[in-house]
Amino acid sequence: MARGDGRLTHDLLPGEKGPQDACGVFGVWAPGEDVSKLAYYGLYALQHRGQESAGIATSDGRSILVYKDMGLVSQVFDERSLGSLKGHLAVGHCRYSTTGGSTWENAQPTLGGHDQSTVALAHNGNLINSAELRDLVASRAESGFEVAKGELSRGNTTDTALVTALLADDPDRSVEAAALDVLPRLRGAFSFVFMDEQTLYAARDPQGIRPLVLGRLERGWVVASETAALDIVGASFIREVEPGELIAIDEVGLRSQRFAETERKGCVFEYVYLARPDTTINGRGVHEARVEMGRTLAREHPVEADMVMPTPESGTPAAIGFAQESGIPYGQGLVKNSYVGRTFIAPSQTIRQLGIRLKLNPLREVIRGKRLVVVDDSIVRGNTQRALVRMLREAGAAEVHVRISSPPVRWPCFYGIDFATRAELIATGIGVEEVRNSIGADSLGYISEDGMVAATDQPRSALCTACFTGDYPIPLPDESQLGKNLFEPLPLDVEGVPTGVNGGAGDALTRP
């Protein structure tokens, strides 16, 4: 396994952390093509889905090589590293951590195997029965299966490493046979791309919570989180990977098997915020869905104003729709610095106090004296909106009316979005007027749940809206078996004992 030299700090300014998705995944099977560069550009198109780490695994038919590191795709890879990744198939990953800490050990693709075969796996989503899987891996290890050769022995603390171990722990069965045994055991959200030395695989959970699509190259196949990644590598969209489907692609062609009964519950927040606007999910263009959410907002929460402006960039399509429906002119009142997200240099205390200003700066001549409608996709903690309203008033805005293209976020997500805890969500336990007062706006309007769902053109029964309603489509286990740091060792007290327990520090196979 190779690792790049760069080490990045991930210091975000106060109030800047909004909802974060788990990851972007990409897989390609294309003999005769430069698959490492196809994977690189595919991940580049999926960079919005995860900016903590990136990795690519390739196979030449005999062995698998993985190169991964902390940082953005463009920071992890260069011509030299990509040139070392030879082969005819590849899987790639860009990560935002929802299970396990943001460390090199937890970067993906994960690797596991035995003398007969190796598995490299990339995962978008979040499993809710990780503790159960951890116990299964431990029991199989006690029975003599070779799980220790995988990522778990190298300190990986993710649900992805557990799945990798289970796929690669038995030399007497193929990876495909292992997948058909393991996949029905998983509960939660997963869109996988994985491979052995010869075959590319893709699988999606029975609810289809996270997106996954299949594309065709002239001389191969591509699987990716979003259709935008197909576009960037010149692949034509064929179809979605269906919920509960396992796809295998090799020299014989493409074959498909169902591993579970399905009940589609696609994440509605993909339409609201997570996916790129130039992506299509289940037949609905994300940009048009967001524009329609803006139109609905204008009908549901009209206001007298002089200009409609977005919070760049996620609020832009909804702001366009709001302006179209209301007849209020659309304007750009903020300039966004696109290079702030990750930095080698931690901000000074002075810069931290400026908060959002490092990322957004007002166009004073545009907003001075204006009654503004400011459109954003969501309010999580409220810090960003509070700082933004203050900034606009200081720049001379006469009024600031905030409009949000999703309902109040009141519940955490356990299926692949890293929201704040319920106690940190500003809308928990308070009404819209109290939120408005907290952020300092003249008025505040959220789109209705019905309006949001209608804009997606999907049946309500086919969508997961748990972060807004608390209605979780996959029943959750006990709270003690959930959480991003489920398998992370607890900090030690002065006597060297993990805080809050009476035993030794936990490891990847023993939850503290």
Catalytic residue positions, numbered: 23
Q: How many CB atoms lie within 10 A of CB 433?
A: 10
Q: Is beta strand 200-204 parallel, antiparallel or unpaired with respect to 245-250?
A: antiparallel
Alpha carbon separation from 100 to 329, 332, 508 (Å, rounded): 46, 39, 10
Apex 510 CA angle, 504 and 512, nearest 5? 55
289 DSSP assignment? H
Residues in binding site for [4Fe-4S] cluster: 267, 413, 464, 467
Contact 211, 237 (CB under 8 A): no
Q: Is beta strand 334-336 parallel, antiparallel or unpaired with respect to 371-376?
A: unpaired
Chain-centre distance of CA 326, in angstroms? Answer: 33
Q: Is beta strand 89-95 parallel, antiparallel or unpaired with respect to 110-113?
A: unpaired
Residues in binding site: 267, 314, 376-377, 413, 464, 467
Residues in binding site for Mg(2+): 314, 376-377
Q: 88, 14, 13, 101: which is closest to 53 by C-alpha? A: 101
For residues 383 and 381, what is the distance between their CA atoms, to the nearest angstrom? Answer: 6
Contact 5, 197 (CB under 8 A): no
